[in-house]
Amino acid sequence: MATGISFVIADDHPLFRGALRQALTGIDDQSRIIEVGDFEGAKSLIGGGQEIDLVLLDLSMPGVSGLSGLVALRGMDASLPIVIVSAHDDAATIRRALELGASGFISKSASMDEIRGAVRRVIDGEIVKPAGMELGVEGDPEIGDLIARLRTLTPQQTRVLSMLAEGLLNKQIAFELHVSEATVKAHVSAILQKLGVDSRTQAVIRLSRIATEPLATEG
């Protein structure tokens, strides 16, 4: 396993960040661990050009709720491994997180050794989930359809969709992404087509289905 790994812990609970830091320190004594307590901090780090090897992301913290945070970060860097660490550890939430591109899911009730072992496996290229958890199949056809459609978006389209959800205008998105407004409009048109909606408002409403709590509402 490589040494000198750069971790980001994104969680709004200082005590739990401390527990995760302790678990990560046992993986590699040369690792670099950065802690952030809100979603804006996580986005700033990932968008700031720093070398990051793995993100441990809580599903609910200031600035984000549900799986929309995972979608947003995947849009910023699709190659960056993101492990969800959450108390929402039901089968539906875990399955949806993995389908949306998470490299793993760790329950907040996991022991220090379990957390350390799961992170090691992700670093080695595995996709991890809680031991013995049967994930089943999607019970909500609308959520299943939405996830399938979100997976067809390019990283840049995913990022634009997340910015639409933040309420940004085309010219603001163009400024943030260093592209023309015409390029943003083309991305928005592609997003609407891929999500099967007629307006940006409908696209944001569809995305909000994975940003609500409780996260698991199957049936």
pLDDT digits (tens, 9 = 90+) for 100-123: 999 999 999 999 999 999 999 999
8-48 confidence digits (pLDDT tens): 999 999 999 998 998 998 787 778 999 999 999 999 988 88
Write down which residue in 75, 96, 123 finishes a domain: 123
Measured CA to CA, the distance from residue 88 to residue 215 in angstroms comes to 7
Measured CA to CA, the distance from residue 214 to residue 96 in angstroms comes to 13
Model confidence band, residue 3 (pLDDT cutoffs 50, 70, 90): low
Measured CA to CA, the distance from residue 79 to residue 77 in angstroms comes to 5
Total Cβ atoms within 10 A of residue 82: 25
Q: Is 167 found in the same domain as 194? A: yes
**pLDDT > 70? residue 4:** yes
Q: Is 191 found in the same domain as 111? A: no
> Is residue 191, in this structure, part of any structural domain at all?
yes
> Is residue 111, in this structure, part of any structural domain at all?
yes
Domain that holds residue 71: 6-123
Q: Quick one: which of 83, 86, 88 has its CA closest to 102? A: 83
Q: Is 116 found in the same domain as 151? A: no
Domains: count for the chain: 2
Model confidence band, residue 151 (pLDDT cutoffs 50, 70, 90): very high
Write down which residue in 91, 123, 155 finishes a domain: 123
> Is residue 131, in this structure, part of any structural domain at all?
no
> Is residue 146, in this structure, part of any structural domain at all?
yes
Measured CA to CA, the distance from residue 63 to residue 37 in angstroms comes to 10
Q: Is 100 found in the same domain as 149? A: no
> Is residue 116, in this structure, part of any structural domain at all?
yes
